[in-house]
Amino acid sequence: MLVSKLRKEKMEEEVKCKREESYECLRSYKLASREIADKYRYETEKRFERENVSRTHRTLESIWGSFKSIVTETTRNVCGSYKKTNKRKQTSWWTSEIKYQVKIKKDKWKQYLSHKTVEKYGQYKQQRKVVKELIQREKRKKWEEFGEKMEKDHKSNQKLFYRVLKNARKTPRNDNVLIKDKDGNLLKEDTAIMERWRGYFDDLLNEEGFERDVEQEIGETQELSEEEEGISMEELKKAINTLKNGKAAGCDRITA
């Protein structure tokens, strides 16, 4: 019999796509600092004043493009940016010294496998102990630095603060959804659960007032489109105040 190993070659398009999975993220969270926010406001207003001079006879798309470029470029210059990729991030405590000591430990282990003597195994155990103590010391140092940073900046960067708390949670989440019937009895069979969902949506979408509410909403939308009223400054401020900070930016890279 013949045994062989096969290696699947990746397509050139697939490799190129994975290479281009990095994108730019603006450090907009720095705007929480009053000094940086004042600088950002000054630079933005100065650029908008120059832009308004040549704003006549322009399409809405070109105006939006100018607005987007002003906001993103000013944020990049004032706050900075960084490249984000889907690659696995290295731990903060992994230093060049630890890397060097781990390499020595691997060499000691290979030497022991080659000779199988008590002396070689003792050298390997000693080096293993050195690596373990070094890793523990670096971990403790990094955690202390991180704790001081979180205590100092937990108000200015709450997104990072709660992300760390979420990642540090040890208890597994229970994503099992319990479905009950109309009488409050727990359903266990898949067919009964699917039938309950069918009945729920049937009652939800076939109520008498559902069609009436839809017709009323369509009528109100048509009335607003017929009036063609502009957006007032108060409505704009109210809409902006309802936005939540910390949400991911869209394709335009502009956060709240």
Query: Quick one: how many helices (H) and strands (E) in the chain?
Result: 9, 2
Domain co-membership, 60 together with 22? yes
Q: Is residue 26 part of a domain?
A: yes
Q: Which one of 145, 172, 199 terminates a domain?
A: 172
State what percent of residues in the chain have pLDDT above 90. Answer: 23
pLDDT, position 133 = 93
- Residue whose tokens read 């009652």: 203
Burial of 78 (0-12, 13-18, 19+ CB in 10 A): buried
Residues written for the chain: 256
3-state secondary structure of 84: strand
Instruction: Classify residue 75 as exposed, middle or buried by CB count within 10 Å of its CB (0-12, 13-18, 19+).
Output: buried
To 5 degrees, how large is the angle CA 83–CA 86–CA 90?
Answer: 85
User: In this structure, is residue 158 part of a structural domain?
Assistant: yes
Residue 43 located in a structural domain: yes
Question: Is 6 among the domain residues?
Answer: no
182 and 198 in a single domain? The answer is: yes
Tokens found for residue 176:
């099992």
Domain boundary among 128, 146, 172: 172
Q: Are residues 163 and 148 in the same domain?
A: yes
Same domain, 35 and 85: yes
Token pair for 139: 């971990």
Same domain, 114 and 150: yes
Q: Could you tell me the two tokens for 45? A: 């207003």
How large is the average pLDDT for residues 141-170? Answer: 73
The verdict on 162 and 187 lying in the same domain is no
pTM here is 0.45
d(CA 240, CA 250): 16
Does residue 242 sit in helix, strand or coil? Answer: coil
Q: Is residue 240 part of a domain?
A: no
Q: What is the mean pLDDT of residues 6-30?
A: 68
**Residue that terminates a domain, selected from 64, 89, 114:** 89
Query: What domain range is 135 assigned to?
Result: 93-172
With respect to residue 46, please indicate whether it lies within any of the assigned structural domains: yes
Residue 223 covered by a domain: no
* 222 belongs to a structural domain: no
pLDDT computed for residue 136 by the predictor = 93
pLDDT, position 78: 92
| pLDDT given at position 20 | 52
The tally of domains found in the chain comes to 3
Q: What is the pLDDT of residues 207-241, one digit of tens each?
A: 665 566 666 666 666 655 555 567 888 998 999 88
User: Are residue 84 and residue 122 in the same domain, yes or no?
Assistant: no
- Closest alpha carbon to 141 in 174, 181, 95, 78: 95
Task: Give the containing element (helix H, strand E) for 81.
Answer: strand 81-84
Q: Kindly tell me if the per-residue pLDDT of 113 is higher than 80.
A: yes
Q: Are residues 100 and 64 in the same domain?
A: no
